[in-house]
Structure 1
């Protein structure tokens, strides 16, 4: 595995992965083909109460946190998300989670 210069501490990386919604989003970006110009899109047109809470949490907590860490770039107008400039810092942890996915509880990922 290639060594990456890291500006974040392990605690900060684990904080970024500390909520299932952030892990799901970062994992989606991990498997996203970097050759594609498409971004992951957050659907804000859902009406279910639980889904609405999830979307509000994403827009007001999770996306800003991941953007502050530099792991994502978030276009608020189009709700498109792409890998940020610091995504390489968290990639090894995401790859480790993906490699051991079968050994982890379902709710972790």
Structure 2
């Protein structure tokens, strides 16, 4: 029997996008992968930073943000291979991120 993937609620999508690092990860995955299933190394998703800030951001990415994105179906994350790819609910989140970004510019 096949399992139906439920689309995350609007609240889950908005909660996901409330974190700047998660918005950054979604944008990077969108810009650097296509729908063929290509994966990115999770470490390459961290915004440019040096030293301790980069280390703490990597820890946060691996222990908070990637698990959240994966649990909600927005990405598929293989922690053993440190690989991230688009998940089954990715396109819906990306569409909302594009809408949010459009309106973000309106408030400036």
- TM-score, normalised with respect to structure 2: 0.74
Aligned partners of 1:7, 1:82: CA distance in 2, in Å?
17
Over aligned residue pairs, what C-alpha RMSD do you find?
Answer: 2.6
Gaps of 5+ in 2: 1-5
- TM-score, normalised with respect to structure 1: 0.73
Aligned partners of 1:85, 1:37: CA distance in 2, in Å?
11
More helix by share: 2
Matched, 1:12 2:15: no
Q: What is the count of residue pairs matched by the alignment?
A: 99
Which position in structure 2 is the counterpart of 1:3? Answer: none
> Helix, strand or coil: the match of 1:43?
helix
Gaps of 5+ in 1: 1-5
